[in-house]
Amino acid sequence: MAAWSPGGDNSHMSSPSLKPYTVFIHIEPLEDPASHQASALTAKPGAASVRRGLLLRPGSVATALLSLLLLVPSPAAAWNAAGHRITALIAWERLDQGSKSALAALLRKHPDFERWQARSKDPDADRAAFLEASTWPDDIRRDRRFYTAGRAQPTPTLKGFPDMERRLGWHYVDRPLHRERRSRSSPGTLDRQLTALAKVLCDSKRSDTERAYALPWLIHLVGDAHQPLHAASRNRPNGKDDSGGNAQRIINPFQPKHQSTNLHSYWDDLPGKPWLRDKRLESTVKALTSLYPAAAPAGEPAQWLDESWQLAQRAAYPPGKDAVLTISAQFHASALEIAGRRLGEAGYRLADQLRRLFGKAGERQCST
């Protein structure tokens, strides 16, 4: 079977101005890091917040968001699992029951639906499948049933899948930060896939198998589009680009056990520990949506990616020209605020797009 390619090439993988924050750093171990995942998000405004040794000026947005940082090193893959579940839950809570039922019915036809069910303890089976589907395109990176094109031979195609390719190039589009400089690496196809997947889901002539395969990808890639370093890449002194920050080494003093990492992974992990689930996930989403209520029109994928590119240009890279850059307290606070805002925007926009694709028949809009 030929590789499924709704958007073509599969070969490769506006935010307000930010003010400086006063930060005191004092690292202390936590008895149960996960238990503090969302606690500062629900702190009363005006009260100083100390979580994982980070004390910020009372009342700042970063006060609430800094406690989400519990970094662990991982391969660059977009927002980590916590980020994608946050975005997915924000979207799910804003969908009407008809849309939820239609989405759940389609996800039940995905070949990995039973795996999602087995992994979740959520009593709401429909919501559980939706949240697990949001991380599936990253989960298959570690799944031996799948293969990476150009690095390994194709694995046997299993029932319900068009093929077993991991499609790493769908997750990003590396646009050079300086438009006059030409990027030498493969740019990725995130922009095309967002449009192509929506068209697959809207096409009544497509089989349920095709649409069930497309849905987790769309849920996931809407989140990816809002991570600044999934839309941009910067040239290094040697003339090669840094692949969306993957080649930019950093020292992150906010994670003393894993200080040495790359800039892309730093941004991916800002939402928190990847195992964020259940009540703590709900608390995080409740607090995050309170901080960042839906306001701006949903817009279209090209707008989301342009916003991410602009953020990457002015705020995603620490200052300096050293080969290894150090994350400062001020940069860290700004990055956390950007991450929180972008996760919220992604959730609201995903809900809007899914309503257009799966809402009441008279309200559906299949043009994207």
* Of residues 319, 314, 339, 324, the one with CA closest to residue 178: 314
What pLDDT does residue 356 have?
A: 94
The C-alpha atoms of residue 5 and residue 24 are separated, in whole angstroms, by 50
The C-alpha atoms of residue 362 and residue 158 are separated, in whole angstroms, by 36
Amino acid at 244: G
What pLDDT does residue 240 have?
A: 80
Which stretches of 6-138 are assigned E, i.e. beta strand?
23-25, 50-51, 54-56
* Position 39 pLDDT exceeds 50: no
* Position 284 pLDDT exceeds 50: yes
Per-residue pLDDT of 220-242, as tens digits, reads: 999 999 999 999 999 877 768 89
* Position 59 pLDDT exceeds 70: no
What pLDDT does residue 55 have?
A: 34
Classify the C-alpha dihedral 8-245-134-142 as positive or negative.
positive
Confidence of residue 185 (pLDDT cuts 50, 70, 90): low
92 burial type by CB count under 10 A (0-12 exposed, 13-18 middle, 19+ buried): buried
In 223-237, which positions are buried (b, 16+ CB within 10 angstroms) versus exposed (e)? Answer: bbbbbbbbbbbbbee
Confidence of residue 251 (pLDDT cuts 50, 70, 90): very high
The C-alpha atoms of residue 27 and residue 139 are separated, in whole angstroms, by 31
What pLDDT does residue 236 have?
A: 77
What share of the chain in percent tops pLDDT 70? 74
* Position 133 pLDDT exceeds 60: yes
CA distances from 54 to 48, 60, 350 (A): 10, 13, 32
Per-residue pLDDT of 137-156, as tens digits, reads: 999 999 999 999 999 999 99
Per the CB < 8 A criterion, the answer to whether 230 and 244 are in contact is yes
What pLDDT does residue 241 have?
A: 85
What are the structural domains, with CATH classification, of the chain? 75-363 (1.10.575.10)
> Count of residues for the chain?
368
Per-residue pLDDT of 72-129, as tens digits, reads: 333 346 799 999 999 999 999 999 999 999 999 999 999 999 999 999 999 999 999 9
The C-alpha atoms of residue 72 and residue 268 are separated, in whole angstroms, by 10
* Position 243 pLDDT exceeds 80: yes
What pLDDT does residue 186 have?
A: 56
The C-alpha atoms of residue 308 and residue 22 are separated, in whole angstroms, by 26
State the pTM of this model. Answer: 0.81
The C-alpha atoms of residue 224 and residue 305 are separated, in whole angstroms, by 9
Confidence of residue 37 (pLDDT cuts 50, 70, 90): very low
What is the mean pLDDT of the segment spanning 162-167?
98
- The mean pLDDT of the chain is 81
